[in-house]
Structure 1
Amino acid sequence: MTPTSPAAAPETLTQWQPTWSPDKTDPGLPPITLITDPHDHPDYTTTALAAHQPAAGRIAVHPTPLATAPAYLAQDLIRALGKHLPPSDTEPPWWTGNADESWRVAAAWTQALGISHYVICRAHRITARHLEHLMALREHTRIQLTLVVSGPTPAALAPILKAVPHHPTEALESARLHLQTGQQQTSAPAGHDHWWHPAPLPAPEDEPWYELPPRPRRPAVVTPRQGAPARPSVDRPHPIVIALPAFTHPDDYPGTSHQAVAQRIHTRIAHPVHAAAVAARVLAGYDTEQLSQITLSTPQRPSADLPANLPAWMLPLQEAARIYTELQGHIRTDLPAHLSGANRPFRLTSWEQDDVAHATETCRLIPAPIRKRPSNPRKRRP
């Protein structure tokens, strides 16, 4: 008998692609709202931007002017979510130049943070490729989508408006009513408020640094590849360094230091897996080489490197990392977590370990010094 292969079937391990065509759309999605401002009146843009209410799950996006590369609109969405890409004077992470990866990052944050409505300003300037990716995001995340067209309706919108139910309006009062600019913030899952209150970037010169907890012995790792740094290389003085304790229980994390660290991670790290990886370092002191080996608790295997009962601010980061990993096609959705790969959230290449190290430093976090065990040579008997 020929043995069956343990490899996953193609239909159970697939990578999400941000592609869309007019003949493949879900009619059950909320209709698109098209706000047309033929005379480019500033009140329309002001009204749209005022609709930005993260606590209500509504995000207003002002696309980068004249940015036509396919990745740009995804990164505009990521920035509107309060996530900042590295400064221009640093080497950008590998994924920022890849359109598909950028849209997977945007999709992961959209779902993990409970975003239900995107308002896209200046929609007449975005390209047909941008619109295709945006429609793919709508299909996958089932968001409500509002497009504000300040000028003539572009030809690129024609196939979308023919294929998708939509509500057009030109009246400013109708636009205001639709955008509900007076809506009060609503309650949200615990931990989500950290990304509503961004940390400053670049960091102020007097911002304190935090020392990560001591590195645990486990999980054990193989010898790191040559050139992969074990810790961020920090060559600047640290006038204030505050030691962070290792995680033991969620109640240990109400202090101002941990609140500040949580806000930095939510603000300064745009990639969900890298953000969750830095959070894991904060909770347990893991080194970058250990991250790929750590496991999450599951019902079948409750003993893991990170406990199931994590602090609230970590939960949306963990969820975003899981969603991104699933979008990458690394998780078998038809299997329990301990068999599907969902319990190993950090599949980091050597260059991504560098990205995590740099992100750690961007959050003003430094590893604890590695303390060697004291030698205890046996005394010879006389």
Structure 2
Amino acid sequence: MTPTSPAAAPADTLTKWQPTWSPDQTDPGLPPITLITDPHDQAAYITTALAAHNPALGRIAVHPTPLATAPAYLAHDLIRALGKHLPPPDADPPWWTGNADESWRVAVAWTKALGISHYVICRAHRITGRHLEHLVALREHTRIRLTLVVSGPTPAALATILNTVSHRHIGTLEGARRHLETDQQPTSTIPARYGWWHPAPFPAPHDEPRYELPPRPRHPAARPRDTVNSRRAPAQLPAGCTPSTAIALPALTHSEHPSTCHETVAQRIHSRIAHPVHAAAVAIRVLAGYDIDQLSQITIPTPQRPRADLPADLPEWVLPLQDAARIYTELQGHIRTDLPAHLSGTHKPFRLATWERDDVARATETCRLVEAPTRKRPNTPRKSRP
């Protein structure tokens, strides 16, 4: 087991959420873990578990990557089950994908922001002890229901954890079906008009239309130190595609029913960007045209400072992205909950290191978005004084 964390830090100390768990950290008020055992490895058990996948009800079924033992892999499986795609193997992976703690923070942020209330984990007998501890830590933090489907005998690592937490056991297929059919009412807080689980194709088709971002606003201005070594070379567009052939996106809209262009781009962002902060950043670029170097200076409305760069009534499809980005930032320990928003930093939703700005640029390209061409102002001769 992971050693017990040290004594709680003072209230004014910022600490990251760590995906670690030990028996004395278990909350007895959580829903019991459900263990479904399939002693003869019958296909009907896995079929039933996967059929329970229903994002509209807040229930996600996960089939872990076979024989994947790296600590980040199960977090990646959860993220993929939520409809988020990590870059393909031939692409340069974002920095966070190789870090287990960061990957689990991303998984927790999406779990909470998307209103997930129940994870069903297939083939749980193949999960390593480290994976199980991370999964139980996620359960403790998000208070979800957790169902584990095990074929054959219960592994020793799982049995040790179950001995310390509240759990129930189901040993028949009919019992498994009844258990997985109990969630009949929607629990997700995501507006019904926008189904984030409706994916865009991935990888993007070669002939997929490209969209041009709105023009870059003048404000807020990026700080000089923020622009050093942070600009990437423009992406090479496919043959026959130039910014002039891209479809122009309208500026920020508050319509309850987004345009076809915005709906298409929204589905790409929700499907193709796995990191919540990067997804929210690309969404803001789509709506308002901000340059990557401006993102860290953008402000959102607060009770103390209602005037901000972004209005409060953003389109509904952006809200879960904003929520996930905020939750991830809280998990990173960057927000002081005992201070007003304009003092704690929550009025500036994006904290992007230089390498993360490169990730945002790549995510922008993954969604087939191109920057608007810079339009120079015409030179007007000054009138000479008489």
Per the shorter chain, which TM-score range?
A: over 0.9
Unaligned runs of 5+ in 1: 1-7
> Distance between the aligned counterparts of 2:14 and 2:183, measured in 1?
44
Query: Equivalent residue for 1:276?
Result: 280
Asked whether 1:162 is paired with 2:166, we answer: no
Give the TM-score taking structure 2 as reference length.
0.92
CA contact (8 A) 1:19 1:132 kept: yes
CA contact (8 A) 2:114 2:190 kept: no
Asked whether 1:249 is paired with 2:254, we answer: yes
> Distance between the aligned counterparts of 2:183 and 2:137, measured in 1?
30
Deviates more, 1:315-324 or 1:337-346: 337-346
**Pair 1:314–1:232, CA change in 2 (3 A):** farther
Asked whether 1:229 is paired with 2:228, we answer: no
> Distance between the aligned counterparts of 1:305 and 1:368, measured in 2?
20
**Pair 1:187–1:347, CA change in 2 (3 A):** closer
Once the 2 structures are TM-superposed, how far is the Cα of residue 254 of structure 1 from its aligned partner? 2.2
CA contact (8 A) 2:269 2:279 kept: yes
- Residue pairs, 1:49-68, within 5 angstroms: 49-68=50-69
- Residue pairs, 1:116-195, within 5 angstroms: 116-180=117-181, 183=184, 188-190=189-191, 193-195=194-196
Matching residue's letter, 1:78: I
Cα-to-partner distance string for 1:34-91 (whole Å, 9 max, x where unaligned): 0001111100000000000000000000000000000000010000000000111110
> Distance between the aligned counterparts of 1:139 and 1:304, measured in 2?
35
Query: Equivalent residue for 1:349?
Result: 353
Matching residue's letter, 1:115: I
CA contact (8 A) 1:210 1:241 kept: yes
Deviates more, 1:95-104 or 1:203-212: 203-212
> Distance between the aligned counterparts of 1:350 and 1:250, measured in 2?
34
Secondary structure of the corresponding residue to residue 304 of structure 1: coil
> Distance between the aligned counterparts of 1:92 and 1:10, measured in 2?
36
Query: Equivalent residue for 2:312?
Result: 308
Once the 2 structures are TM-superposed, how far is the Cα of residue 207 of structure 1 from its aligned partner? 1.3
Query: Equivalent residue for 2:368?
Result: 364
CA RMSD of aligned residues (A): 1.9
CA contact (8 A) 2:19 2:104 kept: yes
Query: Equivalent residue for 1:377?
Result: 381
> Distance between the aligned counterparts of 2:233 and 2:57, measured in 1?
38
CA contact (8 A) 2:115 2:187 kept: no
Once the 2 structures are TM-superposed, how far is the Cα of residue 276 of structure 1 from its aligned partner? 0.1
Asked whether 1:238 is paired with 2:241, we answer: yes
Query: Equivalent residue for 1:288?
Result: 292
Secondary structure of the corresponding residue to residue 36 of structure 1: strand
Query: Equivalent residue for 1:196?
Result: 197
> Distance between the aligned counterparts of 1:218 and 1:151, measured in 2?
61
**Pair 1:181–1:46, CA change in 2 (3 A):** farther
Deviates more, 1:8-17 or 1:273-282: 8-17
> Distance between the aligned counterparts of 1:333 and 1:222, measured in 2?
26
Query: Equivalent residue for 1:87?
Result: 88
**Pair 1:285–1:31, CA change in 2 (3 A):** same
CA contact (8 A) 2:282 2:360 kept: yes
Aligned residues: 374
Secondary structure of the corresponding residue to residue 289 of structure 1: helix
Secondary structure of the corresponding residue to residue 23 of structure 1: helix
Query: Equivalent residue for 2:4?
Result: none
**Pair 1:315–1:231, CA change in 2 (3 A):** farther
Give the TM-score taking structure 1 as reference length.
0.93
Secondary structure of the corresponding residue to residue 89 of structure 1: coil
Query: Equivalent residue for 1:215?
Result: 216
